[in-house]
A and B are shown apart, each in its own frame.
Chain A
Amino acid sequence: MKPSRTSQFFTYLLAVVVSVCCIAPLAWTAFASIAKQSDIVAKPARWWPSELYLDRYREILFNPDSSVGSAFRAALMNSLVVGASTVAISMAVGILGAYAFARLNFPFRRTTLMVFLVTYMLPQISLLIPLYMILNQLGLLDTKLGLILVNTSLVVPFTLWILSNYFMTIPKELEEAARIDGTTRLGALFRIILPSARPGIFAAVMFSFLLAWDEFMYALIFTATDASKTIPVAISEFAGRYTTDFGLVAAGGLIAAIPPVIIALVFQRQIVSGLAAGAVKG
């Protein structure tokens, strides 16, 4: 049955409205990042730069004498280090644990998995105060190591969940054949399970990185200097300090958005189907 012409019209109308709503705020932010200040504050408002003005990007990315630039670059590096380390540790921890949940029989298996999942519901604020005191005692305040540790605790429940679900979909027979040939359980995990779980591992890596890159509350409280401040903290400071220079905030914000946006667009299908699988399984 063919859809009627009016219903087609409304479909396209809605498609245009949705697209414009998604893109308009971002487009204006991009405009502000490459427009001169006089264009941004012009009245009536301008929507197109009178000339391409890239000084802000130059300042925050390359200028060695600019304090804004060096703070931003330090934060970018910190976020990359903290993000990559968090992902690496969480994946290692998650793969081992997920194998136990997917393949081994032990008492309280379901309960343990539920406890891990429920920790996701806990508000970070309810852990913030003692974590601050503990990190202070350990001398880990304002260090990347401290942030990596606390971020790992946020990410591990996710990797455990995604990976154990994925491992369960891999037929047991594959592994049993290898085990009969004398491979140990761990050998089977590395030689049989991991290669066939590549899509699941991939999805877990992506989600972990997005989570770590976006983390704000711990970073806000546990960092103080360029030694460990991450990108979200730097951007929120920009937005608080340079309220009159929105172009600078916009440029920094868009650079900070590049890694997650690229990941999301390139791996769109995996992310959508990963989320969808979770939704259907519910």
Chain B
Amino acid sequence: MAGSIAAAPPRKRKRRNGERRLAFWLLLPAILAVFGIILYPLYRTVLISLFEVKSAVAVDPPFIGLGNFQEALSSPGLWSATGRTLYFTLVSTGIELVLGFLVAWLLNKKFRGRWIVQALIILPWALPTIVNAAMWKGIYNAQYGALNGLLSQLGLIDQYQVWLADPFLSLNLVIIADAWKTTPLVAIFLLAGLTAIPSEIYEAARVDRAGPIRSFFSMTLPLLAPSIALVLVLRTVEAIKVFDIIYAMTRGGPANGTQTISYYAYVTAFSEQNYGLGSAIALIVLLIVLVLSTVYLRLMRRSEMSML
């Protein structure tokens, strides 16, 4: 390649330079938008995390090196928030994968009224996150919530419960609200993977008298692996960053029971006005996301290689 560049006639080289210049100008707006509003602020976050910044307009704040990180890592609040975030991520992604597969499997079948189901599952996905949070907050409400109304009419509870009073229960109820909205997306992704599997494979399995369970584990699952991996990466990254639904449903309560790590960083920076410490925690969130997505990408690449 390098030799051919050197040997290229001047006219061709000129054209290539023109192309590079054009590419630069065409990309300049995107570079300004993304680098100016993402990478430069990220660099500033790193800087702020090294100083003791206790005001948004602080002048000459004292440099404390990794002091903020030390303080963050030695505070029990960070560790319990991390634990809750991992629990949230694991359980919500798990529920979404299982239910999403069920819905995808259903939509991959031919039956009358299939288009209605497909239109209906789009609804939760399209609902704005905050509206979804407000809706579920109403459903769980202790005085008028639909959950109390339904369970007591079914005779499953004697009296109305205050659902969002117990910290651990609240975390699980937020997970249900989140899973309701995001399962459709997972289902659509998995459906795309399922429709790509040729039906001849199943017929061959039937000829070989493989039962439905065996054909699921030995054929559907491996063939669906790339779609599952992609969904897993997307949902895990989103779940670790979770903030909006927590803010709108519980504000991290009760007793910090739903305080995830992003929310913890937000409270530290904007409620306690400790911007340095908040930045350090935010960078820890970033680090978790980066480590997990790298691990995933490695695993994906390896599984692709083994499939080849």
Q: A126-B285, A239-B130, A280-B227 are in contact. List 17 more A-B contacts (CB 8 A).
A: A15-B117, A22-B120, A22-B184, A100-B23, A105-B19, A112-B27, A124-B243, A129-B279, A133-B275, A156-B34, A217-B244, A232-B131, A238-B134, A257-B126, A265-B123, A279-B189, A279-B231
Counted as pairs of residues, one from A and one from B, with CB atoms less than 8 Å apart, the total is: 296
With an 8 A cutoff between CB atoms, is A125 at the interface?
Answer: yes
Residue from B122, B130, B229, B290 in contact with A264 in the complex, judged by beta carbons closer than 8 Å: B122
| Inter-chain contact B285/A123, CB cutoff 8 Å | yes
A interface vs B, CB < 8 Å?
A: 1, 3, 8, 11-12, 14-15, 18-19, 21-23, 25-26, 28-29, 32, 40-41, 43-45, 47, 89, 92-94, 96-97, 99-101, 104-107, 109, 112, 116, 119, 121-134, 136, 149-150, 152-153, 156-157, 160, 185, 210, 213-214, 216-217, 220-221, 231-233, 235-236, 238-240, 243-244, 246, 249-250, 253-254, 256-257, 260-261, 263-265, 268, 271-272, 275-277, 279-280, 282
**Cα distance A129–B68 when bound, in Å?**
15
| Inter-chain contact B131/A149, CB cutoff 8 Å | no
Chain B residues numbered 121-161 whose CB sits less than 8 Å from any CB in chain A:
121-131, 133-139, 141, 143-144, 146, 148-150, 152-153, 160
| Inter-chain contact A41/B118, CB cutoff 8 Å | no
Q: Which of B75-83, B108-116, B166-174 contacts A (4 or more CB under 8 A)?
A: B108-116
A145 to chain B, nearest CB (A): 13
Which residues of B are found within 8 Å of A233, using beta-carbon distances?
A: 130
| Inter-chain contact B286/A96, CB cutoff 8 Å | no
Chain B residues numbered 168-200 whose CB sits less than 8 Å from any CB in chain A:
180, 184-185, 188-189, 191-193, 195-196
**Cα distance A153–B206 when bound, in Å?**
51
With both beta carbons as reference points, the residue of chain B lying nearest to A217 in the complex is identified as: B243
| Inter-chain contact B44/A130, CB cutoff 8 Å | yes
Residue from B120, B134, B148, B289 in contact with A239 in the complex, judged by beta carbons closer than 8 Å: B134
**Cα distance A220–B129 when bound, in Å?**
13
**Cα distance A92–B237 when bound, in Å?**
28
Which residues of A are found within 8 Å of B255, using beta-carbon distances?
A: none
| Inter-chain contact A276/B237, CB cutoff 8 Å | no
Assuming A45-B153, A131-B41, is B286 touching A126 (CB within 8 A)? yes
Q: Which applies to chain B's interface (DSSP): helix, strand, loop or mixed?
A: helix
Assuming A123-B262, A128-B282, is B119 touching A268 (CB within 8 A)? yes
